[in-house]
Structure 1
Amino acid sequence: MITHIVLFKLKDRSPEAIAQTVQVLKDMEGKIDELKHIEVGVDVVHSERSYDIALFTKFESMEALGAYQIHPLHQKVIEHMTQVREASASVDYES
């Protein structure tokens, strides 16, 4: 399995903006065959170094992760995230 985690810091950190982006991410669930698990979490600490949203996903292989990256629905999510994010960080590892 490959675990893919992305942290997002949003430009607009209001509860409404965060909720909208959480929904955009969650809307991928069940719509991309390669995506075996998705979890979206919202930061509750709100420290200076906190990111607003964590995306936690799992894939069967690196090939599946690659197919997810180019999937049309994921591409639409990337478009949204590009508009709303201030910063992001990711990590991918074998699990």
Structure 2
Amino acid sequence: MITHIVLFKLKDRSPESVAATAQVLRDMEGKIDELLSIEVGTDVVHSERSYDVSLVTKFASLEAMQAYQVHPVHKKVIEHMSVAREAQAVVDYES
């Protein structure tokens, strides 16, 4: 099992922008066969070092995660995030 975690810091950190971006991520659920689970969270602390949105996804294998990366639904999310994000951090690990 592969766990893929991404943290996003947004250019527009307003509650409306954060909620809209979180929904874009949640909308992947049920649309990508390789995506076994998805959890999207929004920051509640709002400190200087906080990121705004987190994405935690799980895949059966590294190959499944790689298929997700090029899936058309995920490609649409990448388009949104490339405009909305200021920064991101990623970690992928076997779980």
Q: Is 1:29 aligned to residue 29 of structure 2? A: yes
Deviation, 1:59, is: 0.2
Q: CA deviation at 1:71?
A: 0.1
**How many angstroms apart in 2 are the aligned matches of 1:79 and 1:52?**
18
- Residue of structure 2 equivalent to 1:46: 46
**Alignment-derived partner of residue 4 in structure 2:** 4
Q: Distance in 2 between matches of 1:88 and 1:7?
A: 5
Q: Residue type of the partner of 2:89?
A: A
1:85 is aligned to 2:85: yes
Q: Give the letter aligned to residue 82 of structure 1.
A: S
> What RMSD over aligned residues (CA atoms) do the two structures have, in Å?
0.3
TM-score (norm 2): 0.99
Structure 1 runs of 4+ off > 6 angstroms? none
Ranges in structure 1 where 5+ consecutive residues have no aligned partner: none
Distance (whole Å) between structure 2 residues aligned to residue 42 and residue 16 of structure 1: 12
Name the structure 1 match of 2:70.
Answer: 70
Partners in 1 of 2:48 and 2:14 — Cα distance?
Answer: 15
Normalized against structure 1, the TM-score is what? 0.99
Unaligned runs of 5+ in 2: none
